[in-house]
Amino acid sequence: MLKINIAQDHPMPLQVSLECMPGELHALVGPSGSGKTSVLRTIAGLRNPNIGRIEYNDQIWFAGGNIKGVEVILPPSQRPCGFLFQQYALFPHLTAIENVSIPLQNSGYTAAKRKSIAFNWLKRMGIADLASRIPSQLSGGQQQRVALARAMSREPKILLLDEPFSAVDTPTRQSLYKTLADLRKDLNIPILLVTHDLREASLLADRITVIDQGISLQTASPKTLFQKPRNSRVAQLVGINNMFEGVFTAGNLTWNGCEQAFNVIDKGKIPPGTPVAWVIPPDGLSLHSEQTPASIEANVEQVSALGQIALIQLRIKGGENKISWEASAAEVRRLSLEAGKSTYIKLDEDKIHIMPLRPINDPRRLLD
Amino acid sequence: MGIWIGHFLARAGALKGWIEGLLALPLVLPPTVLGYYLLVSLGRVSLFGLPLVFSFTGILIASLIVNLPFAIQPIQRAFEAIQPEIVEAAQVSGLSRWQTFNLIELPLAWRGIVSAAVLTFAHTLGEFGVVLMVGGAIPGETKTVSIAIFDKVQNFDISGAGTLSLLLLGISLASIAFSYGVFGATRNKNSNRAT
């Protein structure tokens, strides 16, 4: 298992803790400049944090600062990582097969054996026929496959993927997803994937760590992350549209700007009278053409048709709160949703998730 | 020495500007000033009991110092042109520093190194002021072609000076053409990269 607990305040604040199990694909997600690539580079040893610990099973790769006072810095060449760079970083003067052979340089194998292993990896990536081409003679997708073969050829103990799909077109990306999925089936190593594409992370990863301004905010499965973000910033980063503010007191949530209140169960972590942010997932919302018990009246502000679906913008009557809702074209017809008309919203209280308004992590906690 | 210093400067962080400035001094100093300092400093040093001034070894050392910027700058630029990610990719591929240099950086910078060697050769051949001051124009030992041209003109041997000048002109032109050819090939290759 790969365990990371690192912190620094320069050149950018970084405070990240995460674990990645063998066979797990763990995605690091965050906006540009959030520090996710720095985490990957730190694991590979291309940069070192101020303090912290990076270990793989019983092997310590980095231990420094005030944790136990031990100083261990393993150079990148001695860390058994496969690293896939965003812009491939292939050696431009070497052919595809030579690129893949390079990591086997210190393996003790003969040149012929190294070449044979490299060729097998190229074959596995479906580009054996391109073995004698140099990178400038390959397309972006082909270069990425060579880079993946190079990252894998010395049988790394962990695989680090830095936005590997961002520079390729959609069909190539789909095909690379499949290659990665096939690779995962055969390997039992931790895989860390850096991406800013949340959809991609949800599609591929077992768990996601959300990073913002160098701080890991939450690690959870994609489903949990969307349904139960730890705080309002996480909710914002994962693109939850229906997020509101309120006050939570002993099982009762009041909605700021509305008269409505909801019965919400909390694990007792939030003190009474705390201002909170709360979210409701799409499946916790339903629209009705007639008033029902506990339904809330709303005005339809906008109906935007997007092919087979429509994005409905609603404003709660008597307030400024807005709710957005995705509906099928058939549903829009059934409910006669048109701008200016009234409708009734029902919120499933069981699906309301409340959380502190601000992140509770302090970036400098580990540095003190 | 040019490869080593060029590589060091390409990767250097702090003090880089000062070191570059110091090594480029021979480019801006008048040859006589440089020659004077070398004459004074080498005059007090001997190698294996032999004096360095007015000897072939002396002008070799002087030429090395004077021509170092011509060697370093193209080599440094060639190493700087290598993307840092390429070097990092070598490191995470398990290569040692020496293997990274030998297998990755050196082959990628070879055009700069060849160009530096050719330019330095041509410039050394035409060196005059410093070589005259440190070497003293001793026939058969420290008299270079450019000094010989000067002597021939002084002695009104215009046709002899013309022959030697033509020889230097030919060598310089060939060297520069070769150097431009090497870089021209690099530019064309880069512009033809597949997308």
Separation of alpha carbons A364 and A53, rounded Å: 16
Collect all residues with Cβ–Cβ distance below 8 Å to A342 and sequence separation of at least 6. Answer: A297, A298, A299, A300, A317
Convert the pLDDT of each residue in A311-330 to its tens digit. 888 888 877 888 888 888 88
Domains identified in chain B, total number = 1
Q: What is the pLDDT of residue B46?
A: 63
Separation of alpha carbons A333 and A328, rounded Å: 9
Separation of alpha carbons A63 and A59, rounded Å: 11
Look over chain A and give the mean of its residue pLDDT values, rounded to a whole number.
86
Is B191 a member of any domain?
no
**Regions of chain A short of the pLDDT cut 50:** 360-368
Partners of residue A93 in chain B, C-beta under 8 Å: 107-108
How many angstroms separate the Cα of B54 from the Cα of each of B39, B124, B135? 9, 17, 4
Which of these ranges, A271-275, B49-53, B167-171, has the smallest mean pLDDT? B49-53
DSSP helix/strand/coil, A339: coil
> A217 and A176 in contact (C-beta within 8 Å)?
no
Separation of alpha carbons B126 and A35, rounded Å: 54
Q: What is the pLDDT of residue A81?
A: 92
How many residue pairs bridge chain A and chain B with CB atoms within 8 Å of each other? 69
Residue A48 CB coordination number (10 Å):
15
Q: Which residue reads 């549209």 in tokens?
A: A241
Residue B180's H or E segment, with its range, is helix B158-191
Is B195 a member of any domain?
no
Higher pLDDT, B135 or A102: A102
Identity of the residue numbered B145: V
DSSP helix/strand/coil, A17: strand
How many CA atoms does the CB half-sphere of A99 hold within 13 Å? 35
Task: Please indicate if any CB of chain A lies within 8 Å of the CB of B191.
Answer: no
- Topology of A235-356 in CATH? OB fold (Dihydrolipoamide Acetyltransferase, E2P) (2.40.50)
The answer to whether B107 contacts A77, with C-beta atoms less than 8 Å apart, is: no
Separation of alpha carbons A179 and A207, rounded Å: 19
Q: Where are the domains of chain A?
A: 2-227, 235-356
Report, in this order, helix, strand and coil percent for chain B, each rounded to 5: 75, 0, 20
**Which residue on chain A is closest to B103 by alpha carbon?**
A102
Residue B31's H or E segment, with its range, is helix B31-43
Q: How many helices (H) and strands (E) does chain A have?
A: 9, 21
Q: What is the pLDDT of residue B195?
A: 36
Residue A52 CB coordination number (10 Å):
24
Look over chain B and give the mean of its residue pLDDT values, rounded to a whole number.
79
Convert the pLDDT of each residue in B142-156 to its tens digit. 677 788 888 888 888
Q: What is the pLDDT of residue A237?
A: 86
Q: What predicted TM-score, i.e. pTM, was given to this entire model?
A: 0.77
* Environment class of B36 (CB within 10 Å of its CB; exposed 0-12, middle 13-18, buried 19+): middle
- Tell me the CATH number of domain A2-227, given options 3.30.110.40, 1.20.1730.10, 3.40.50.300, 1.10.3720.10: 3.40.50.300
DSSP helix/strand/coil, A152: helix
> A227 and A282 in contact (C-beta within 8 Å)?
no
Partners of residue B108 in chain A, C-beta under 8 Å: 91-93
For B163-171, the CB contacts below 8 A with 24+ separation are B168/B125, B168/B126, B171/B122, B171/B125
**Domain with B73 in it:** 2-144
**Which residue on chain B is closest to A147 by alpha carbon?**
B89
Convert the pLDDT of each residue in B95-134 to its tens digit. 999 999 999 999 998 888 888 888 888 777 777 777 777 7
Percent of chain B with pLDDT over 90: 13
> A68 and A35 in contact (C-beta within 8 Å)?
no
The answer to whether B85 contacts A136, with C-beta atoms less than 8 Å apart, is: no
Query: pLDDT confidence of B190, banded at 50, 70, 90?
Result: very low
Domains A2-227 and A235-356 share a fold: no
Q: What is the pLDDT of residue A367?
A: 38
**Which residue on chain B is closest to A151 by alpha carbon?**
B93
Q: Which residue reads 């690129």 in tokens?
A: A99
Compute the CA torsion angle A96, A100, A106, A107 (nearest 10 deg). -130
Residue among B88, B94, B107 whose CB faces A105 most closely? B94
Q: What is the pLDDT of residue A70?
A: 58
Identity of the residue numbered B127: E
Q: Which of these, A321, A153, A76, lies nearest to B88 by C-alpha position?
A: A76
> A180 and A211 in contact (C-beta within 8 Å)?
no
Report, in this order, helix, strand and coil percent for chain A, each rounded to 5: 30, 30, 40
Q: What is the CA radius of gyration of chain A?
A: 25
Residue B108 CB coordination number (10 Å):
20
CATH number at residue B136: 1.10.3720.10
The answer to whether B95 contacts A85, with C-beta atoms less than 8 Å apart, is: no
Interface list for chain A against chain B, based on CB atoms closer than 8 Å = 44-46, 75-79, 81-83, 85, 87, 89-93, 102-103, 105-106, 136-139, 150, 154
The answer to whether B88 contacts A138, with C-beta atoms less than 8 Å apart, is: no
Residue B176's H or E segment, with its range, is helix B158-191
Pair of tokens at residue B98: 């020496």
Q: Does the pLDDT of residue B171 top 90, yes or no?
A: no
Is B43 a member of any domain?
yes
Q: Does the pLDDT of residue B194 top 50, yes or no?
A: no
